[in-house]
Amino acid sequence: MTSLLRKYACLARLHGWRADCIMLLAGSLYALGFPPVHAVVVLPVAFCLLALAINNATGWREAARRGFMFAMGLYSVGLYWLMYAILLRADDFWWLVPLASPGCALILAPLSALAAGMTRLVPRGTGRLMVLAALWTLTDMARVYVFSGFPWNPPGSVWTFPGFAGDVMIQPAAWIGVDGLTLLTCVLSLAPLYGRTGRLACLGIGLVWIASGTLRLTCLHDTYRHNPEVVLVQGNVPEKEKMAGTSDVAIFRRYLGLTRQGVAQGLAQAGGRPVVFAWPESAFPGLLMEDDIARPMIMQAGKGAMAGVIGTVRWLENDHHWRNSMAALVPPDGMPAAVYDKAHLVPFGEYQPAFLPFHVVPGEGMTPGPAVRTWHLPDVAPVGPLICYEVIFSGQVVDPYDRPAWLLNSTNDAWYGNSAGPRQHLAAVRLRAVEEGLPVARAANTGISAVFDGRGHELARLGWGRQGVLVHSMPDALPQTAFGRFGRWIPLFLALAVGLAGGWSGCARVKDS
């Protein structure tokens, strides 16, 4: 064992291209902690190697290079599934297939380089490790400002593994958000490098984490008084079929048939509560708002439901822009009671970043809506609509002036195949439920459709690649969480406090010596 540890430490003393390769491998190893693998045991191995490499760097520039290469490995492996979207247009962009995830990594890695470089400015010791954890968290939080924001796979999401254990570990997100979990993850991942006191402190943090999570999970109970019975329609339409546009009528008929089946089941088990059915993002094969024939047909298929939420695209004549939207139709004739336009668009998928020298987004791309909002539909508890990608934005999924009673996420993950991408997306949905204390229903085209309560506990799911309906009662909202009230200010304050404490400790240690 001692020999193995010596070899491990020697890896951190390498320089030049050898060190770059080791950091790439360490970052790639770290990526295995994310869903669906959840190999959290690799986090200390990889992150401690980065910390040791920063210690052995000749200066802050070399330390920044270590952080950059670590992040290149992390994002290149963690986002490998982006290539599936490129493969759908391989005739035009075949050369982009191997560059999809490394290209995103190249843009995100400078943030990690900044964290590693600044860490090297702090004297060696426990204080430097605390600063690394804090800066890694702060730069990870800063990813909301890259493009229109790309906060995919925050390190705190590694704890979303299935079952009771995962439920316990994500409960502190109700107080400190996923960014707070990221900070705790970074601090605990460095535990092998602390002294005896530091390791005992980490043990105490871990025990408090587990105890508080268990307490919240067991003390809060679901009630079913106010929210509706939801019918989530999963059409399982391959993206190539949607893009071809030759099966629009068949797709529409498929959704109508599934809606009839699901609403009938929902009415049978609703117990007098209203029934709401939902189709996934862009499920309607056309312009729903202009189609006066299709809307009544949809509500006829969902006869008995109080509302039907349909994913569609919109063309606005007044500004000549496309929008990715959700429309809430109400009986009897399917008149739109509310419309929501997606506020956070997917870079390279829905809009074209200005710096890109070639055009990858079909047409002119989409235009974002103004902000998240709450719908107040007739005889239905207030609902917060969210379209696909925007559910990954911690602290930005609820109207702060009009808290809904539940959230409805409509998505189409068919772009990314049966890969880690849809599972990572689902983990983000689960974390938003905990952060806001709100139940979430997720309607996904090819899966995974699911229902979570306000503790992030999964109540039901319809797996990947299956055609069908998922019918379940939505539990009531939990009391507003601390994170729901104060948002990302809480993890920001915690990260700054840890960083300042680490910096002060490091400087004080130098003065004493």
CA 164 to the chain's CA centroid: 20
Report yes or no: 165 and 157 within 8 Å, Cβ to Cβ.
no
Active-site residue, 303 included = no
Helix crossing, 100-119 with 42-56: angle to 10°?
Answer: 60
Residue 261, classified by CB atoms within 10 Å of its CB into exposed (0-12), middle (13-18) or buried (19+), is middle
Residues in the chain: 513
Q: Of the listed 342, 350, 390, 435, which one is catalytic?
A: 342
Catalytic pick from 239, 281, 436, 458?
A: 281
Determine contact, residues 418/174, Cβ cutoff 8 Å.
no
Return the C-alpha torsion angle 362, 364, 366, 369, nearest 10: 180
CB atoms within 10 A of CB 500: 13
Of 182, 171, 174, the closest CA to residue 214 belongs to: 171
Neighbours of 10 (CB within 10 A): 11
Catalytic residue among 202, 388, 390, 435: 388
The reply to whether 281 belongs to the active site is: yes
User: Among residues 70, 79, 2, 69, which one has the least CA distance to residue 30?
Assistant: 70
Question: Per DSSP, which regions of 17-175 are E strands?
Answer: none
Residue 388 is a catalytic residue: yes
With residue 324 as reference, give the H or E element that holds it: strand 321-330
Q: What is d(CA 56, CA 436) in angstroms, rounded to the nearest whole number?
A: 42
Q: Amino acid identity of 25?
A: L
CB atoms under 10 Å from CB of 379, counted, come to 10
Catalytic residues: 281, 342, 388
